[in-house]
Structure 1
């Protein structure tokens, strides 16, 4: 144990951490060698030296490639966190040395916050032109692990169920009603007294099964005795959904802000859905201190959200 303590505290280097993460990513020495631009024997030797120094086997060799042991999984997890911290320090040092005010990495969930985040960032740029932002769109399955590992500073979008965010701080920002939308040309857009049974004859644009909205939507439709048709398209892309609604008779479920945004307005069906989802908001890692730039983005979100909420409430 004394030798392990010494190696971790004194001899473990950033290049070894990067090697561990790369091996865990590719699980194949040939691919690791290609990515790191060294030979396969050099990669194998570096891993063997690291395992010898720690006195632990980090990866087992199988027919399917390298597989991390429990020790490897532990060290890789911490390696990702440490490297993320180093990258953050590098970005802040670069910002200080060049006179800029920092860089913030923001993940955005595609099925929400399409209006909130752009308006908040427009305000940010008015107040702090030197604060730069990297925006990455993705699903909660990809964004939340990146937020946990420190590869993202914030995630903005529809807040997941409370049980899925135990490692994060969260702030509710915007209550967006979920509505059933069609194109303005749709037959139901011209019909008076639309009933739930009127939806049976039309195709759907649905969120994928792994998305936040899919399960509560299906439960709401079942409550109205409306089984989902087998005629549907699944997507998280709101841009695609808007475009498809304009040229088809499909019905889509969308957050309220989408109804009035864009060059071609959509039609909102007069059918009331229950509150299917939590509000839109912002998440950050409770174990990681926010940078001044990240706090500035949150402040802009907090300022923008009530203005949008007023507009949404007025349009409802």
Structure 2
């Protein structure tokens, strides 16, 4: 039997666009009208592809023509390819306008409320041709996005090597306990974690590096923390603690953003794990784009 030629040899963007339109419009004739193609020419394109592939793509009846299961499969991939082509077109237009790159950056809330905004401002001032799309995610989500190559660069707290990722230190930070100013522990010079186990807590969401670490340390002491309320951001955590809903942990550098909460006390946490490091991360098996390399070099040099 003569081997079938690779599928890519038979496909072109115009035919893929036609198949996607047939799925969207529900018929060949309406798809042809939408794309301003004569119906007979549209039908001929599909027939040529069917003959080349040896599979039927359309159900042809007296009432019209719709996609077969094979046609629907091609349509699904065609939609994704059309989106990629649109993205490519936008990037080419940006390049013509002098833009030299786009970076998909994902970062933890800890990084975003501390050093990252100032560092990105300096970088973009020096490299006005680069565009950065920044999204906030938990540390666990950032790892998955990088491994799936849905992001270019990640910034998050890690406690060791992560298979599939290349890590570079970014910033060191220290955790402090936040308490209402009149709390019985508020005037201590430092606090051990075991002194906090019976307190009610305001916590960040599961999946954040901080929430995960606190939960592990509590289990190591044989207890579960008494979580009274869980919030998504550090600003919200400060508000809840200020209102007496519990205590919490925050990175010390983030306290510069908390001046609007004068009724809070901040006490250093006296534990080895209170000193932690934020890392810059990229997929280990993918070569970073020139723009991503420039960003990594700039952030590592700060």
**Coarse TM-score class (shorter-chain normalised):** 0.5 to 0.7
Q: Name the larger-Rg structure.
A: 2
Q: Please say if residues 181 and 259 of structure 1, whose CA atoms lie closer than 8 Å, have aligned partners that are also in contact.
A: no
Give the TM-score normalised by the residue count of structure 1.
0.65
Helix, strand or coil at the partner of 2:270: coil
Using the alignment, how far apart are the partners of 2:91 and 2:158 within structure 1? 28
Q: Please say if residues 157 and 278 of structure 2, whose CA atoms lie closer than 8 Å, have aligned partners that are also in contact.
A: yes
- Give the 3 Å change call, closer, same or farther, for CA 94–284 of structure 1 in structure 2: farther
Helix, strand or coil at the partner of 2:257: coil
Aligned position for 1:302:
300
> In proportion to residue count, which structure has more strand?
2
Aligned length: 268
Segments of structure 2 that go 5 or more residues without pairing to the other structure are 29-45, 56-72
RMSD between aligned alpha carbons?
4.5
Aligned position for 1:104:
103
- Give the 3 Å change call, closer, same or farther, for CA 37–146 of structure 1 in structure 2: farther
Aligned position for 2:11:
11
Aligned position for 1:307:
none
Using the alignment, how far apart are the partners of 1:224 and 1:237 within structure 2? 26
Q: Give the alignment of 1:87-102 within 5 angstroms.
A: 89-90=88-89, 92-102=91-101
Using the alignment, how far apart are the partners of 1:14 and 1:303 within structure 2? 47
1:15 deviation in Å?
8.6
1:4 deviation in Å?
6.1
Q: Please say if residues 179 and 265 of structure 2, whose CA atoms lie closer than 8 Å, have aligned partners that are also in contact.
A: yes
Aligned position for 1:162:
161
Q: Give the alignment of 1:161-180 within 5 angstroms.
A: 161-163=160-162, 165-166=163-164, 168-180=165-177
Using the alignment, how far apart are the partners of 1:51 and 1:287 within structure 2? 38
Segments of structure 1 that go 5 or more residues without pairing to the other structure are 21-32, 43-47, 57-71, 305-316
Helix, strand or coil at the partner of 2:113: coil
Aligned position for 1:268:
266
Aligned position for 2:243:
247
1:9 deviation in Å?
5.0
Matched, 1:39 2:25: yes
Give the TM-score normalised by the residue count of structure 2.
0.67
Aligned position for 2:217:
220
| 1:209-243 superposed Cα distances (whole Å, 9 cap, x missing partner) | 333333432332345566412x4222342221122
Using the alignment, how far apart are the partners of 2:193 and 2:147 within structure 1? 41
Using the alignment, how far apart are the partners of 1:276 and 1:194 within structure 2? 11
1:146 deviation in Å?
3.4
